[in-house]
Amino acid sequence: MKNDCIQIFNVGFRLNPVAVEKYREVISAFVLMSDDQAKVELFLPDDDQHSVLLNKTGDLIYGNGTYRYDAKKSILYLKDQVVYKGNVE
């Protein structure tokens, strides 16, 4: 999305899983928003794809049918179930 090689953990927004198993490492997802805020790119752990693009569907809401990201609340949904949250107050 940035048309450059980036380190996602330095430029993206971190989302942590809501269900964390005891004694397992926490592997975060990351979100990168386009400069015009028309799209977001998801970088998901344990996904065969390198990233997933979501298009803007509402006021800071992005989706593609499987995933929905609420940028106001910093919540990522998978089929309407909360799977990742960011630390926003």
Residues with Cβ < 8 Å from 66, sequence gap 6 or more?
Answer: 78, 79
Q: Are 17 and 77 in contact (CB under 8 A)?
A: no
Regions of the chain short of the pLDDT cut 70: 1-3, 47-49, 88-89
The model's pTM is 0.84
Q: Which residue is associated with the tokens 């809401």?
A: 61
The predicted structure's pLDDT at residue 2: 60
Question: Which 3 state secondary structure label does DSSP give 87?
Answer: coil
The predicted structure's pLDDT at residue 19: 86
